């Protein structure tokens, strides 16, 4: 399986990150998710899951920052379209990102249960986007955490692939 996410000279485009224009922000947060092309999908895929995490956040905040967690996207997709996290164009089960944690305490589910783009405070960060091909619909409900996804996927991942994106400080 392969994924492809468009970049601008190797960097995530402004509209998906801290340099987004007002139309791509919600309460100051970049919320427009980028498109992901998916190819060479194995047979037997029922659903996809997506994660986007930032390990470069560890020196800043003490932990890996979760930007996007979603499950149960239809297994026949060849592209997760731009803004799928907010638009409702693709059915999915929404997981919580790090803004939902007690340290941040975001209260708007349109932000804490959807994509929230890179906003690195100190330097350019690397963001790992992973797409998982799953052999079943996972028993998750909106508001699950990343560890819940990993537990639910155990023994059901047919393939997974990642792409690292750079988000500008």
Global pTM value? 0.96
Average pLDDT over residues 16-42: 96
Show me where the domains of the chain are located.
2-167
Mean pLDDT of the chain: 96
Residue 22 has pLDDT above 90, yes or no: yes
pLDDT score, position 5: 98
Residue 16 has pLDDT above 90, yes or no: yes
Average pLDDT over residues 101-127: 92
* Owner of token pair 């890179």: 118
pLDDT score, position 119: 94
pLDDT in tens, 68-96: 999 999 999 999 999 999 999 999 999 99
Which CATH number describes the domain made up of 2-167?
A: 3.90.280.10
3-state secondary structure at position 2: strand
> Residues 56, 85: contact at Cβ < 8 Å?
no
DSSP class of residue 105 equals -
Helices (H) and strands (E) in the chain, counts: 4, 10
pLDDT in tens, 133-148: 999 999 999 999 999 9
């Amino acid at each position: 399986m392969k994924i492809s996410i468009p970049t601008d000279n190797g960097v995530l485009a402004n509209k998906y990150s801290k340099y987004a224009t007002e139309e791509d922000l919600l309460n100051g947060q970049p919320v427009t998710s980028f498109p992901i092309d998916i190819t060479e999908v194995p047979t037997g895929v029922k659903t996809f899951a997506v994660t986007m995490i930032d390990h470069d956040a560890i020196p800043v905040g003490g932990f890996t920052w979760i930007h996007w967690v979603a499950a149960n996207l239809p297994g026949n997709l060849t592209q997760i379209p731009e803004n799928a996290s907010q638009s409702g164009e693709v059915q999915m089960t929404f997981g919580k990102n790090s803004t939902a944690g007690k340290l941040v305490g975001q209260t708007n589910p349109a932000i804490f249960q959807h994509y929230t783009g890179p906003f690195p405070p100190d330097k350019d960060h690397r963001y790992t986007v992973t797409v998982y091909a799953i052999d079943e619909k996972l028993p998750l409900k909106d508001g699950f955490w990343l560890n819940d996804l990993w537990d639910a996927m155990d023994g059901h991942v047919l393939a997974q692939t990642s792409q690292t994106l750079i988000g500008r400080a």
